[in-house]
Amino acid sequence: MDTNPNDPNPVAPSATSGADSFPLGAATTLAELAGDPHPRLALLRAQEPVSWLPELGGWLVTRRDLALRVMRDAATFTVDDPRFSTAQVVGPSMLSLDGDQHTRHRQAFVAPFRPRAVREGFASFIERESDRLLAALEPAGAGELRGAFAGPLAVAVVAEALGLEGVDAATVLSWYDAIVRSVSDITAGHAAGPAGAEAYARLRAAVEATVADGGAASLLRAAAGQLEPAEVAPNAAVLMFGGIETTEAMITNALLQLLRHPDQLALVRGDADLLDNAIEESLRLEPGATLVDRYATRDTVLGPATIRRGEAVSVSLAGANRDPAAFPDPDRFDVRRENARLQLAFAHGPHHCIAAHLARLETRIALQHLLERLPALRLDPDLPATPYGLVFRKPSSLHVLWGGPA
């Protein structure tokens, strides 16, 4: 996600729309959106569904139908803009291109992420890795599951998916951390330090070595048959971002929702077929990535706003996912919600998450193993967990108990 709330030269709202026309947006702070955004998003959605937020330096779209319009219309609302911070660090990729170039980059990676290929290629690995992590945790009777389970599982799956020769999961994580810090610095309007560029250079070298090796078939070698060598590494970096950041959040947030709602957890324990829908409902209530950014390529009208060419337009996935026009009683966690799968946590349109099937499989297996192996699993009442984050949203930690009486 690429949002620049501290851009030193933000584009001002157009004269015809006027900041005065959007008082709720003018009063909305980034701190509020990072902490407990949902009451403010509900107000914006009801009264200013496309609103100018001075602190964001752009427009914020919170109504589901308007969010869909933006994400479907890449010709009017593009990602291909010099302000897109991820591209500044890793170069152009499927994340930061539109049109034919986007299609060419994305198509090179589609096949391994189709549902059948995901099941056949990753299910056994995810099962083994989940069991390995839980075997180490289980004797303690208590633990912090974001850092000791969800995160390591996400990193291991990404490392397995990329298949970099001679590179272990710890190294992948170190590169990821450095690159993400650089992207975050640019997003916040600061100059990025050298660590991100150095980490990306090492990732690029590893990708090039893996492709050149010519050994067993892999995701990267298959992509290299369709892209130029220099185009494979940026897309590998993008897959690393999504596979680690948002999947860790997806597992952690879903577990938190289930443990916060014992009645819903009991329904899932009583009917395993509800687990998939519980995951969709968690994605709806608390998506791991809350914003997607676009830039207007022409003057256009969207809902109540006249948007000018060049202005930044951010879609609030968190706002769209609680739109009561689509989801009655939208703040309630309901594992039986019939249309939970209409959530937009994986975005929509040309930039719909390419690895959504893998993320779903990984989360389902992770939760299955947790609930089966730790039947007394519950939140630690002395160490509460609360999701936090403006762009990426999850609790900083998830402390749980499973030993002793439930």
pLDDT tens, 5-41? 333 334 444 434 445 799 999 999 999 999 999 999 9
Q: Give the model's pLDDT for residue 186.
A: 83
Q: Give the model's pLDDT for residue 4.
A: 41
Please return the burial class of 299, using the count of CB atoms within 10 Å of its CB with bins 0-12, 13-18 and 19+: middle
CA distance 73 to 64: 14
CA distance 394 to 257: 11
How is 310-353 classified by DSSP, letter by letter?
T-EEEEEHHHHTT-TTTSSSTTS--TT-TTGGG--TT--GGGS-
> pTM of the predicted model, to two decimals?
0.92
How would you classify residue 349: left for phi > 0, otherwise alpha for psi between -120 and 50, otherwise beta? left
CA distance 154 to 251: 9
Q: Give the model's pLDDT for residue 371.
A: 97
Amino acid in position 92: P
Retrieve residue 318's tokens. 């968190």
Q: Give the model's pLDDT for residue 13.
A: 47
Neighbours of 85 (CB within 10 A): 22
Ranges in the chain, pLDDT < 50? 1-18
Q: Give the model's pLDDT for residue 241.
A: 86
Q: Report whether 114 contacts 349 (CB < 8 A).
A: no
CA distance 168 to 366: 21
Q: Report whether 298 contacts 356 (CB < 8 A).
A: no
CA distance 229 to 211: 8
Q: Give the model's pLDDT for residue 16.
A: 40
Between the CA of residue 209 and those of 73, 172, 221, 233, 327, what are the distances in Å? 37, 15, 10, 11, 48
pLDDT in tens, 191-223: 888 999 999 999 999 999 999 887 666 899 889
Backbone angles phi, psi at 398, to 5 degrees: -135, 90
Strand pairing partners for 291?
A: 316
CA distance 377 to 152: 19
Q: Give the model's pLDDT for residue 122.
A: 96
Sheet holding 142-144, edge to edge: 142-144, 399-401, 378-379
Provide the Cα torsion 62, 66, 68, 73; round to 10°: -130
| R_g of the chain, CA atoms, integer Å | 21
Retrieve residue 200's tokens. 């990306």
CA distance 398 to 382: 11
Q: Report whether 393 contacts 290 (CB < 8 A).
A: yes
Amino acid in position 89: V
Retrieve residue 305's tokens. 């706003």
CA distance 333 to 284: 9
Q: Give the model's pLDDT for residue 10.
A: 41
CA distance 267 to 43: 32
How is 178-245 classified by DSSP, letter by letter?
HHHHHHHHHHTTPPP-HHHHHHHHHHHHHHHHHHHH--S--HHHHHHTTS-HHHHHHHHHHHHHIIII
Measure the N-to-C terminal CA separation of the chain; round to a whole number of Å. 39
Half-sphere exposure of 243 (CA within 13 A, CB side): 26
Reduced 3-state DSSP string for 52-67: EECCCCEEEECCHHHH
Neighbours of 212 (CB within 10 A): 12
**Which stretch of DSSP H or E encloses residue 365?**
helix 356-373
Domains in the chain, CATH or no CATH each: 19-401 (1.10.630.10)
CA distance 184 to 389: 12
